[in-house]
């Protein structure tokens, strides 16, 4: 007996969930709502997890990593205030889902760095199958940023750092924003929105508690 949920049912559940997130005020903008509808999370997880993709919790992806919960992704996208044309760097590609959403919001090339080669391949496959053409998955240590395409309007880090990596601050444009969870290893972190003022000063705002997998690298946790 085939117990797999049909594509129609997956889509129906997803649309209902997006409407609920919108009604609850977690998704605030029409742009983020449209991006969620365009790229459902079930396209970015392994087949056996697809039927759970509408549940607002992190889901496993290969190599012991996770794709974040729906509310977390929505909150970070809203805080980032993305709009067409912004130059965005994401650190921690994972499944590629968040990068796909970013690409829908900025409608230009998006750069995303992932340290685990197996996940680079996983994300590239997911992105290709979802029809996303403007996301570039870069293998490597994202704590060093990605200098070839700097400076960035936004840098969005989706793993927990012990401290703010200096290269990311350097690669941020004046007027740009860095979103980064900072705190404990696999414990709670605080999500910070760090704005570089036009004069090059840093203005830090703490959003609240979050729980991300560790950011491992030269300017992060030692692996
Ligand atoms: N944004 C992802 C998505 O949409 O699926 C979820 C990210 S997952 C919570 C965190 C990811 O950060 C993992 O895939 C992990 O391998 C990656 N990571 C950890 N340290 C990293 C580093 N220094 N550079 C790049 N990626 C890193």
Whether 215 has a pLDDT exceeding 90, the answer reads yes
Q: Is 130 within a domain?
A: yes
* CATH number for position 131: 3.40.50.150
Domain region containing 125: 7-211
Whether 186 contacts 160, CB under 8 Å? yes
Q: Is 25 within a domain?
A: yes
Q: What is the best residue among 36, 43, 94, 139 to mutate for testing ligand 1's pocket, by most ligand atoms within 8 Å of CB?
A: 94
SS (H, E, C) 95-113: CCHHHHHHHHHHCCCEEEE
Q: Is 115 within a domain?
A: yes
Whether 111 contacts 88, CB under 8 Å? yes
Whether 162 has a pLDDT exceeding 60, the answer reads yes
Q: Is 68 within a domain?
A: yes
* Catalytic, out of 6, 29, 68, 95: 68
Q: Is 114 within a domain?
A: yes
Helix (DSSP H) and strand (DSSP E) numbers for the chain: 6, 9
Q: Is 134 within a domain?
A: yes
Q: What is the pLDDT of residue 57?
A: 97
Q: Which residues line ligand 1 (CB under 6 A)?
A: 65-68, 91-92, 94-95, 97-98, 113-116, 119, 141-143, 158-159, 212-213, 215-217, 220
Whether 38 has a pLDDT exceeding 90, the answer reads yes
For the entire predicted model, the pTM comes to 0.97
Q: What is the pLDDT of residue 185?
A: 84
Q: What is the pLDDT of residue 3?
A: 61
Whether 196 contacts 152, CB under 8 Å? no
61 burial via Cβ count (<10 Å: 0-12, 13-18, 19+): buried
Q: Is 129 within a domain?
A: yes
User: Total domain count for the chain?
Assistant: 1
Q: What is the best residue among 61, 92, 154 to mutate for testing ligand 1's pocket, by most ligand atoms within 8 Å of CB?
A: 92
Whether 190 has a pLDDT exceeding 60, the answer reads yes
Per-residue pLDDT, averaged over 124-147, amounts to 98
Whether 161 contacts 181, CB under 8 Å? yes
Q: Is 103 a catalytic residue?
A: no
Q: Is 219 within a domain?
A: no
Confidence of residue 1 (pLDDT cuts 50, 70, 90): very low
CA triplet 113, 123, 53: central angle to 5 degrees?
120
Kindly give the number of the ligand 1 atom that is closest to the alpha carbon of 73.
4
């Amino acid at each position: 007996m085939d117990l797999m949920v049909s594509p129609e049912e997956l889509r129906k559940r997803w649309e209902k969930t997006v409407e609920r997130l919108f009604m609850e005020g977690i998704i605030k903008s029409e742009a983020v709502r449209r991006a969620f509808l365009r790229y459902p999370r079930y396209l970015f997880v392994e087949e056996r997890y697809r039927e759970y993709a509408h549940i607002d919790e992190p889901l496993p992806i290969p190599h012991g990593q996770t794709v974040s919960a729906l509310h977390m992704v929505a909150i970070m996208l809203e805080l980032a205030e993305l709009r067409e044309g912004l130059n965005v760097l994401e650190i921690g590609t994972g499944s590629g889902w968040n990068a796909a959403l970013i690409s829908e919001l900025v409608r230009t090339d998006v750069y995303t760095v992932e340290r685990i080669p197996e996940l680079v391949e996983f994300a590239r496959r997911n992105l290709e199958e979802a029809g996303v053409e403007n996301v570039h998955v870069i293998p490597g240590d994202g704590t060093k940023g990605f200098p070839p395409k700097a400076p960035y309007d936004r840098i969005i880090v989706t793993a927990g750092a012990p401290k703010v990596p200096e290269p990311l601050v350097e690669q941020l444009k004046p007027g740009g924003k860095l979103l980064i969870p900072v705190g404990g290893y696999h414990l709670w972190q605080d999500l910070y929105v760090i704005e570089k003022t036009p004069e090059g000063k840093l203005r830090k705002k703490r959003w609240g508690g979050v729980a991300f997998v560790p950011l491992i690298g030269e300017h992060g946790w030692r692996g």
